[in-house]
Structures are given as structure tokens and as C-alpha cells.
Amino acid sequence: MAEQKPSRSTATSVAGEVEAGLLSQLRVILDIYWISPVRNRLILMILGVVSIIIVTSAGQVLLNRWNVPFYDSLSRRDFPAFVDQLMVFFAIASVLLVFNVAQTWLNQMTRLKLREGLTRDLVGEWLEPRRAFKLSNSGPIGVNPDQRLHEDARHLSEMSTDLGFGLLQATILLVSFIGVLWTFSSGFVFNVYGYSFSIPGYMVWAAILYAASASWLSWLVGRKLIRYNADRYQKESELRFSLMRVNEHIDAISLYRGEADENRRIGFDIDSLLAAIRLLVTALTQLTWVTSGYGWITIVAPILVAAPVYFAGNLSFGGLMAAIGAFNQVHDALKWFVNNFGAIADWRATLLRVTSFRQAVQATDINNSVEQRIKFTQSETNQIVLDKLKITAPRETVRLKEKKAVVKEGERVLITSEPGIDRTLLFRAMAGLWPWGAGTVSLPGNTNILFMPRLPYFPPGSLREAMSYPVGKDGFSDEELVSALHELGLTRLEPMLDFKARWDRELSDDEQQSLAFARLKLHKPTWVVIDEALDGMEKDAYERVTAVLRDDLAKSTVVHIGREDKNDHVFSKVLHFVSDPSGHGLEEEGIAGV
């Protein structure tokens, strides 16, 4: 599920997240693929496409030369020569067709490998231990990562393939046809009002001037598309998050009859997205004036450029058609930037989002090491030691009442708190997820520590996978799984080990907690830290869980963070989590991103 959505006042345009240049962003992408397992196959595919483009360009040069005898045969009304040239055309076209099909297949496979390498890298970086949690608390860059991991990675891979190979093909065609066009326009002498002069290769210079003016004007009109596209993708992710949130909580919304309110909230996101799209539409319309205008002029431009040579008698009709074809090839190659400016702006916006996300993911490790934080160490005495621990929350600071709390091996400890204090902060701090605060958390090294959150997590899949998580579905035998279900009062689930479902929706709250403790019984960790999981359980379920803690986990050390009225002589030591009136919240201290 996507991360928590920020308030509208804190949501900012993606374009402002990382002010990095194009070269820096490209370096990030190249580094990703250099270390990727798909690197070698990707290189082979790219080399294949390059080879095909070169061969295809040579074929197009031959096809351009074919114009001269073909159109000359038409002008002479020479039918046998006309038929011969048709046969030559079909031979050239057949070979080019084979190469076009091969290029299409390689293009699609290159897209696939680019996406595979990029997506696997982004997901791998994001799911490094503790990074995803830290990123979700680091500001707008951590909001809705699914958009960047899925849609942006797909879009960037596809557009990089299309634009990259398109630019390569335009460059090779330019090199191939400049010589042809230069030959047609070399040695021609202009006679204007009694003056004679020559411009070597003037048709080449005319094509360059024509395309350069179109490219400059396109950049001037369309450069804002980069910013508009980036903002549009951000708004798209916010709308998708709102729809996902409503779908996840539709039961509660229906019970509260809150559909109208949710419709109003989603309406705000729709309005925001539509406003971003309107800006994009306006900018694209302005760019179309330039690209389409030049496109219409291009129909007659090569004829106008070649006309002086033709009417002077230095070109046959076939030569004129070949010169027009060569001019169009050179012009199209030079005008590649104009034709693709909208796509380039879209690609730049997506490149910015992907690279800024990856850099932000990696920066979480640095950011959480340079600022003053809780110190996490390994205990030398095989104990949990919380020394002068203070935890800074967004609006307050909380601490342990005991200045130095020690949990020894085999102890059962309850950590309770004053009303209104978020006990989950302590749970996250002990697990190393919440580094903001002061003091030291020391955990025993080289031991199996399991942290049980208040709301249990079950991956999608079979019941066997949910109980074995995260060691894999083959981690425990059927007998062990069935025994754990029976002991926790989940006998109705025993025939369903291989049944796949959303277990967070299939089971009641008590059944979910019982299933989480069945998983705990299977894994038998040496140390267990539990966050309020016992507090809301019914009596029968609570008694079964405490029996597991007493019998199956008799040698394990158990720390439960929860209410004191749930002690029931299960826990031999009680610690206290209290508010610290001398502390300040993160917002008061000016620490951004939390």
C-alpha cells in the first residue's frame, strides 16, 4: 500500500526535489545498468539495433539513388525501364522490411530489459533494511513510492528506448545523406541581377538553417513542459493514493455513511490533477503551432530549395526527386529535436523523478547518521539496555522513567505508559526504525530478535506462506503448522494451509493476532518485543497466547509494550514510559522531513 499522503501545504512539485543537471541524472542511470545483471544482454541488444540501423540507412541511401533512374524512366515514358526499376525497388524494400521487423523486436526487448534492470534496482534500494520506513518520514519525496517504482520506471524505460534509438537513427541518416545532398548542390552558380556566385553544398546549409530555427523556437516555446509533466505525474500519484485509501477502508466509510465526504476529498485531487493537465494542454497547444507550422512548410521547402538547380537545367526530373528525398532525410534528421520535443520534456520529467527518488532512498542512510540521533549499539552482556532514552516525536518528547533500564536474558518485562502517550514510538525506537531522540539502545548481538507490531502483517498468498513469513513456505512442516493453529484456537484454518487469500480481510482482529502468535510459536525467537498486541484480545485468545509465552517460549525473553492491566502476573518487571516536559517536538526543533 502507498505511503501516507502529506497535507496539501507540504506537497511540492517533483521538479524542485533535486536540483541536479542532466549529466548527473544520466550518470545515476548508467551506474544502475552497469551493476545490473541485465547489463551484458542489454549491450548485445543495443549493438544489434545499432548494426541494423546502419544497414537500414545504407539501404535507404540505395533507395534514394533509385529515384533517379525510376523518375527519369517516367519522364521518358520508357515502360521497360520502368518495370526494371520496379523490380529493383521490390528487392530493396524486401530487405529493408526484414531489417525493420528485426529492429522492432530488438526495440521491444531492449525496453523489457531496461525496465527489468531499473525496476529491480529501485525496489532493491528501497527495500534495504529500514530504508523504506525512513523514506516515508522524509517529506514529499517519500510519498507514494509506488508511482516511481512502477509507472515512472516503465515510462522512463520505454521512452529512453524510443528516443535513444530514434536519435541514433537520425544521426546515422544525417551522416549518410549529407554527402548525397552536397553532391546534388555542388558546383551550381547563382545568377542574381547580373551577379554570379556559388555556395558549395547550399542545399545542406539550407536544411541545417531550416531545422535549427525550428529547434530553437521549439525549445523556447516548449521548455516549460518538463516542469508541467513532472507536476502532472505527482498529481496522478496523489489521486491514485486517494482511490486506494478509500478502497482499503470502504467498510468503515460505508458504516459512517461517509461516501459524500470521501467524494468531496477525492474531488479536490481530481481538480488538482485537471489543473495540472490544463497547463500541460496549453503548453502542448503552443508547441503544436511551431511543430505543425514547420511541418506544413516542409512539404514545399525541399522543392523550393532544389528549384534553382532544376530550372537551370543542372538536374533531371529524377535528380530533382532524389534531391528532394535527400533534403527531407537530412531535414528530418536535423528536425528530430523539434518532432520529439514534447516526448523529450516528458522523458526529462520522468528521469528527474526516478533519479531523485533513488538518490533520496540512498540519502536516508546518510541523513540518519549525520544528525543527532539515538545511539544504537550491540550489548556486550546479552541484555537489552535502554540508557537515558528520550524519543522526540513530531510535537513532544517522551522518555523512559527509569534512567537505565536493563532487560536480562529470560525476563518477562512490561513497559507501560501514561494515558495519551504513543507507545509505538518506543517500539519503533527499540527496533531502530525511529532514530530521533537521545540516549542509547543496546540490543544483544548474534541472537534471534523478533519485533511484533501492533497490527500483524501477512503477505498475500497461502496460509502456509503467511505463517512461515519471512523464511519461505517450506520453512515448516504441515504437522508444525497444524499444531500451532490448534494451540492458538484456529482449528477452522487447519484445512486451509494452501488456500490463498487476503488474510487481513478474511480473519477477525483476534484471529489475526492469534495467527501472528502461531507464527511466533513456530519461529521460537530468543528475544521478543511486542507492541500492544495483547491489549485488545478477548479473554480466551489472551489465555491461549499467554500459554504459548509460558510453555513454548519458556526460555525466550519477552518485552511487551502495552497496558498495565494486562499484566496478570505474566510479566515480572514493569518499566514506565512518560512524557518529558523539558523536551521539544521535532516541529519545534525545526527538523524537516518528519
- Count of CB atoms within 10 A of residue 461's CB? 17
Domain check: are 32 and 142 in the same one? yes
Phi, psi of 200 (to 5 degrees): -55, 125
Domain check: are 560 and 441 in the same one? yes
DSSP assignment string, 187-239: T-EEEETTEEEE-TTHHHHHHHHHHHHHHHHHHHHHTTHHHHHHHHHHHHHHH
Within 8 A by CB and 6+ apart from 544, the residues are 487, 488, 489, 514, 517
Q: 543 lies in a domain?
A: yes
CA distances from 275 to 14, 73, 210, 243, 278 (A): 16, 58, 36, 19, 5
Tell me if residue 377 falls in helix, strand or coil.
strand
The DSSP H or E segment spanning 175 is helix 153-185
Please tell me the distance from the alpha carbon of residue 6 to that of residue 241, in angstroms, as a whole number.
Answer: 11
Q: 463 lies in a domain?
A: yes
Residue that the C-alpha cell 520522468 belongs to: 350
Please tell me the distance from the alpha carbon of residue 327 to that of residue 203, in angstroms, as a whole number.
Answer: 7
Domain check: are 198 and 173 in the same one? no
pTM of the model: 0.58
Residue that the C-alpha cell 525496489 belongs to: 123
Do the beta carbons of residue 535 and residue 562 sit within 8 Å? yes
Domain check: are 177 and 197 in the same one? no
Q: 357 lies in a domain?
A: yes
Domain check: are 448 and 303 in the same one? no
CA distances from 377 to 54, 98, 136, 161, 440 (A): 60, 64, 24, 47, 7
DSSP assignment string, 108-163: HHHHHHHHHHHHHHHHHHHTSTTHHHHHHTSSGGGS-HHIIIIIIHHHHHHHHHHH
Q: How many angstroms from the chain centroid is the CA of residue 159?
A: 14
State the Cα torsion 358-362-366-372 to the nearest 10°.
80
Q: 326 lies in a domain?
A: no
Query: And the C-alpha cell for 443?
Result: 540490543
CA distances from 353 to 274, 349, 380 (A): 20, 6, 44
Please tell me the distance from the alpha carbon of residue 501 to that of residue 465, in angstroms, as a whole number.
Answer: 11
Domain check: are 172 and 201 in the same one? no
Domain check: are 138 and 40 in the same one? yes
Domain check: are 306 and 448 in the same one? no
List average pLDDT for each run of 10 residues in the chain, which is 594 residues long.
Answer: 37 40 84 90 92 87 81 82 88 89 90 90 81 68 70 86 87 76 65 64 74 76 78 83 80 75 86 89 82 71 70 67 71 71 80 83 62 79 89 81 89 87 87 86 85 86 89 86 92 90 85 91 91 86 89 90 73 86 54 39
The total number of structural domains that make up the chain: 3
pLDDT at position 378:
87
Q: 13 lies in a domain?
A: no
Q: Which residue, 354, 442, 473, is CA-closest to 33?
A: 354
Domain check: are 70 and 209 in the same one? no
Please tell me the distance from the alpha carbon of residue 323 to that of residue 177, in angstroms, as a whole number.
Answer: 10
Phi, psi of 406 (to 5 degrees): -120, 125
Domain check: are 261 and 389 in the same one? no
The CATH number linked to 425 is: 3.40.50.300
Domain check: are 57 and 25 in the same one? yes
Q: How many angstroms from the chain centroid is the CA of residue 15?
A: 15
Query: And the C-alpha cell for 229?
Result: 509533466
Residue that the C-alpha cell 502495552 belongs to: 562
Do the beta carbons of residue 545 and residue 513 sit within 8 Å? yes
CA distances from 21 to 182, 213, 348, 361 (A): 37, 25, 10, 19
State the Cα torsion 540-478-461-510 to the nearest 10°.
0
Q: 349 lies in a domain?
A: yes
Do the beta carbons of residue 514 and residue 549 sit within 8 Å? no
Amino acid letter at 338?
Answer: V
Q: 452 lies in a domain?
A: yes
By CB neighbour count within 10 A (0-12 exposed, 13-18 middle, 19+ buried), where does 246 fall? middle
Q: 4 lies in a domain?
A: no
Query: And the C-alpha cell for 126?
Result: 528501497
Domain check: are 294 and 361 in the same one? no
Please tell me the distance from the alpha carbon of residue 231 to that of residue 240, in angstroms, as a whole number.
Answer: 14
* Boundary (domain end) residue, out of 293, 313, 333: 313
Do the beta carbons of residue 311 and residue 162 sit within 8 Å? no
Report the first-to-last Cα separation within the chain, whole angstroms: 20
By CB neighbour count within 10 A (0-12 exposed, 13-18 middle, 19+ buried), where does 34 fall? exposed
Domain ranges, residue 255? 188-313
